Structure 1
């Protein structure tokens, strides 16, 4: 089961354990998979963001949408096409019944039956 929760950054915990209150700011370098901290003495330290490269982290909503973008696009396009066909069919049927007085009388009779 996919748990759609925000991933906790291991690098933050490692840097907090190393330096505590001496951290001025932290940022995530997603390209290298590291968290980088600026310390109050002006130095910079970094820590890996993963415990193990083989560790499978839980999926997030953003990662699910990114991986399944093509699928969701196809489903959306098919839904729009089917909805358009349904609307066109209903509009065509209504237009074909508009000039027929027997159909109007039949529809009025059924509306008062309930």
Structure 2
């Protein structure tokens, strides 16, 4: 079961455990995968944002789209093709029928 939740930044917790109230500001260095803390005495400290590099993080909406975009595109294309097929079949059915009420029903239904 996919759970879409925000990824936890463990670097914040590590730095808070190390320095507590002596942290003045923190920032996330996404390119390095680390959190950098600026301390009251002017020094800096950093901590990794992952506990282990191979750790499987919870899925987010973006990660699901990034990993499954081909599947989702295929399902969407299949839905569009199926709806087009149903529309063509109903049009053909109305054309084959000599009953004008069937053609009128199709025209009325399409226009709504």
Using the size of structure 1 for normalisation, the TM-score is 0.69
Per the alignment, in what secondary structure is the counterpart of residue 56 of structure 1?
coil
**Match for residue 30 of structure 1?**
30
**Match for residue 65 of structure 2?**
65
Aligned residue pair count: 102
| 1:41, distance to aligned residue in structure 2 (A) | 5.2
Q: How does 1:11-26 map to 2 (within 5 A)?
A: 11-26=11-26
Distance in 2, Cα, partners of 1:91 & 1:37: 66
Distance in 2, Cα, partners of 1:20 & 1:7: 22
| 1:38, distance to aligned residue in structure 2 (A) | 3.6
Distance in 1, Cα, partners of 2:83 & 2:27: 46
Distance in 2, Cα, partners of 1:76 & 1:90: 21
Q: Which runs of 5+ in 2 are unaligned?
A: 102-112
Distance in 2, Cα, partners of 1:18 & 1:80: 55
Per the alignment, in what secondary structure is the counterpart of residue 45 of structure 1?
strand
Q: Which runs of 5+ in 1 are unaligned?
A: 105-114
| 1:90, distance to aligned residue in structure 2 (A) | 1.0
1:55-83 alpha-carbon deviations (Å, 9 max, x no partner):
22232332122100111011101111111
**Match for residue 49 of structure 1?**
49
Distance in 1, Cα, partners of 2:77 & 2:27: 38
**Pairwise CA RMSD of aligned residues?**
2.5
